[in-house]
Structure 1
Amino acid sequence: MSNLRTIIWPQVVLFGDSITQFSFQANGWGAEIADKLARKCDVVNRGFSGYNSRWARMILPRLINSRTSSDSVVAVTVFFGANDSAINEQHVPLQEYPENLKAITRHLASVGVSADKVIFIAPPPIREPLWEKECVSKGCALNRYNATAGQYSQACVQTAAQCGADILDLWTLMQKDGQDFSVYLSDGLHLSKRGNQFVAQHLWEMLESRVADLPFLLPYWRDVDVKSPESSLLRDQ
C-alpha cells in the first residue's frame, strides 16, 4: 500500500476579494463551479474580503509558488478592483491597478501557470443608492461610485489583452442594453443569488474548454470489480 501513487487533483484557483470569498456560500458562483467539477477538479477558494490588487500582489507568492502544486493548476481567476476603486483606505490609484494585475500574471507565469490559464474578472457595477444604505448603516459616507468602478473595469479589460489572459467583464455585461443590474446585487456591491448565477454561467462558458478533457477521477462505483476491488481502485488511471 505504501507504494501507491498519490492522485494529484487538478485545480481551479479562485483568487479575489470578498466577492470571491463569499462565492462558496449557498448558491454562490464558486460553489456552482465546484459542483460541476466534482470528481474531476478541486476548486480552491482564495478569496480575501476587503483586499485590493496591491495586497493581492504581495500575498500571491505565499499561495501559489514552485513549492506548491502549481503544476496541477488548470485555471486561475483574478477578481480584484471593487476595493481598488473605493475612496477609502482600500483605494489603489487607477494607474497602479493594472501594474498590480500584470505583476500577478508575471508571478503566475514564473511558477508555470501561463497566461492562457488566467481569467481576469472585472469588478461588477455599483448600485449607489443600495450601497449608500449599507455605508450609512456602518457610520460612513458612500465610498464607491459606478462610474469609477467602470474605469477600473476598463483598465482590467485592457490589461487582460496586454497579458494574453481572458476577461470576464462583469461591469459591462451586467449593464448591457440598459438592463436593471440591481437584481444582480444584494447590497449594491456584493452579488445576489441572481448575480451569483450570472457569474457562474458566464465563467463556466470560459472554463469549460479548459476542463473538458479532465477525466472522472477513480472509477464510478458500478464499474468497481466487487470481487477484486483492488484491481479497480488501486490501479493507475
Structure 2
Amino acid sequence: MRPSIVLFGDSITEEAFGEGGWGAHLANHYSRSADVVLRGYSGYNTRYQYGGDCAGLPERTNESAGAYARACVEVAAECGLRVIDIWSKMQRFPGWESSFLRDGLHLTPRGNRVVFEEVVFALKDASLGLEALPADLPLFCDMDPNNPVKSFDE
C-alpha cells in the first residue's frame, strides 16, 4: 500500500496546496512514493466563535506568536513528538515579516519554501525521506528497453 502524508491544519495549511505552496511542493517531491493529502479546516467566515468581534482577544503580534510557538515546542517535547519551529526559523532572516508573510499570517512563496524545506528535512530525519520509500514505478534508466513490461512485474 502506498504511504500517505496527511497535513492537518487551518487556512495556512489549506493554502499550502495553492500555487507555490509548501503542500504542493511536498506532493510534487513525493509524487513517485507517497500521497500528500490535505485534511484541513479553513476558518474563513465559517463557525468563528466570536462572530467577527475580536474585542478582548490577544492581538496577532510577533510577541504573542512567539509565546504560542514556544508553548507548542514545549508540548511536543513533553509528548516526545518531533516539531518544526517555523517561528524561530523565520526570525533569523532580516525583513522576515514581509518576506515570509503576505498579511502578517499567511505565507508568501518564499515563506512556503522555508516551510517545505523544513518539512522535508524533518521527514528525512525521521527516516521518511525519498531514499527510504520505494518508488511506485520503475525509473526509466532501470527499464529493459527490449522488454519494458518486465520492469512492472517486480
- Give the equivalent residue in structure 1 for 2:135: 216
Residue 220 of structure 1: how far off its partner (Å): 2.8
CA contact (8 A) 1:11 1:43 kept: yes
Residue 159 of structure 1: how far off its partner (Å): 0.7
Candidates 35, 40, 61, aligned match of 2:33: 40
Say if 2:100 is the partner of 1:181.
Answer: no
Unmatched tracts of structure 1, length 5 or more: 1-7, 56-82, 91-137
TM-score by length of 2: 0.79
Cα RMSD (Å) of the superposition? Answer: 3.0
Residue 168 of structure 1: how far off its partner (Å): 0.9
- Give the equivalent residue in structure 2 for 1:11: 4
Count of paired positions: 145
- Against the structure 1 CA distance between its residues 152 and 228, is the aligned structure 2 distance closer, same or farther, given a 3 Å change threshold? closer
Residue 180 of structure 1: how far off its partner (Å): 1.8
Q: Secondary structure at the match of 2:39?
A: strand
Q: Secondary structure at the match of 1:156?
A: helix
Say if 2:43 is the partner of 1:50.
Answer: yes
Say if 2:41 is the partner of 1:21.
Answer: no
Q: Structure 1 CA distance, aligned partners of 2:148 and 2:83?
A: 48
TM-score by length of 1: 0.53
Q: Secondary structure at the match of 1:15?
A: strand
Q: Runs (4+) of structure 1 moved beyond 3 Å?
A: 138-143, 224-228
Once the two structures are aligned, what percentage of the paired residues are identical?
41
- 1:87-131 deviation digits (Å, cap 9, x = unpaired): x739xxxxxxxxxxxxxxxxxxxxxxxxxxxxxxxxxxxxxxxxx
Q: Structure 2 CA distance, aligned partners of 1:232 and 1:180?
A: 51
- Give the equivalent residue in structure 2 for 1:151: 67
- 1:18-61 deviation digits (Å, cap 9, x = unpaired): 1111101111111111111111111111221129xxx9xxxxxx
Unmatched tracts of structure 2, length 5 or more: none
- Give the equivalent residue in structure 2 for 1:105: none
Candidates 113, 119, 130, aligned match of 1:203: 119
Q: Structure 1 CA distance, aligned partners of 2:3 and 2:146?
A: 28
- Against the structure 1 CA distance between its residues 144 and 228, is the aligned structure 2 distance closer, same or farther, given a 3 Å change threshold? closer
Output the amino acid matched with 2:23. Answer: G
Q: Structure 2 CA distance, aligned partners of 1:31 and 1:25?
A: 7
- 1:140-199 deviation digits (Å, cap 9, x = unpaired): 78952222222211110001101111111111111127x221210011110001100111
- Against the structure 1 CA distance between its residues 228 and 170, is the aligned structure 2 distance closer, same or farther, given a 3 Å change threshold? closer
Output the amino acid matched with 1:44. Answer: V
Greater share of strand: 1
Where relative contact order (Cα < 8 A, 6+ residues apart) is larger, the structure is 2
Candidates 27, 50, 53, aligned match of 1:89: 50
Output the amino acid matched with 2:35. Answer: D
Q: Structure 2 CA distance, aligned partners of 1:36 and 1:195?
A: 17
Q: Secondary structure at the match of 2:83?
A: strand
Q: Secondary structure at the match of 1:174?
A: helix
Output the amino acid matched with 1:89. Answer: Y
